[in-house]
Amino acid sequence: MINLIPYEKLGGADHGWLKAKHHFSFASYQDPSRMNFGPMRVINDDIVAAQKGFAPHPHDNMEIITYVRKGAITHKDNMGNEGRTAAGDVQVMSAGTGVTHSEYNLEDEETSLYQIWMFPNKKNVKPRWDAKEFPKEPVTDQLKPLVTGFNDPNSNSLKIYQDATIFAGRLNQGTVIQQTIKEQAYVLCSYGTIKINKIELQKGDGAEITKLNEVSIQATQDSEVLFIDLPQS
Q: Write the DSSP string, 46-89.
A: EEE-TTEEEEEEEE-S-EEEEEEEESEEEEEETTS-EEEEETT-
Domain(s) labelled CATH 2.60.120.10 in the chain stretch across 9-132, 144-230
Confidence (pLDDT) at 182 = 96
Cα dihedral 14/20/22/23 (nearest 10): 140
Mean pLDDT (whole number) for 10-23: 96
* Cα separation, 71 vs 58, whole angstroms: 24
Other Cβ atoms less than 10 A from the Cβ of 233: the count is 9
* Cα separation, 165 vs 167, whole angstroms: 6
Query: Band of the pLDDT at 206, cuts 50, 70, 90?
Result: very high
Residue 58 or 151, more confident: 58
* Cα separation, 20 vs 113, whole angstroms: 10
Question: Does CATH number 2.20.25.10 belong to domain 144-230?
Answer: no
* Cα separation, 53 vs 34, whole angstroms: 26
Confidence (pLDDT) at 29 = 94
**Does position 135 have pLDDT exceeding 90, yes or no?**
no
Confidence (pLDDT) at 233 = 79
Confidence (pLDDT) at 63 = 98
Continuous segment of H or E residues that includes residue 158? strand 158-160
Query: Band of the pLDDT at 166, cuts 50, 70, 90?
Result: very high
The pTM is what?
0.96
pLDDT more than 90, % of the chain: 97
* Cα separation, 82 vs 185, whole angstroms: 31
**Does position 123 have pLDDT exceeding 90, yes or no?**
yes
**Does position 17 have pLDDT exceeding 90, yes or no?**
yes
By three-state DSSP, how is residue 45 classified?
Answer: strand
Query: Band of the pLDDT at 93, cuts 50, 70, 90?
Result: very high
**Does position 154 have pLDDT exceeding 80, yes or no?**
no
**Does position 155 have pLDDT exceeding 90, yes or no?**
no
Tell which residue, 178, 177, 176, 185, has the closest CA to residue 211. Answer: 185
Mean pLDDT (whole number) for 52-80: 97
* Cα separation, 19 vs 36, whole angstroms: 21
* Cα separation, 145 vs 122, whole angstroms: 21
Mean pLDDT (whole number) for 170-179: 98
pLDDT more than 70, % of the chain: 100
Whole-number mean pLDDT of the chain? 97
Query: Domain 9-132, what fold?
Result: Jelly Rolls (2.60.120)
**Does position 153 have pLDDT exceeding 90, yes or no?**
no
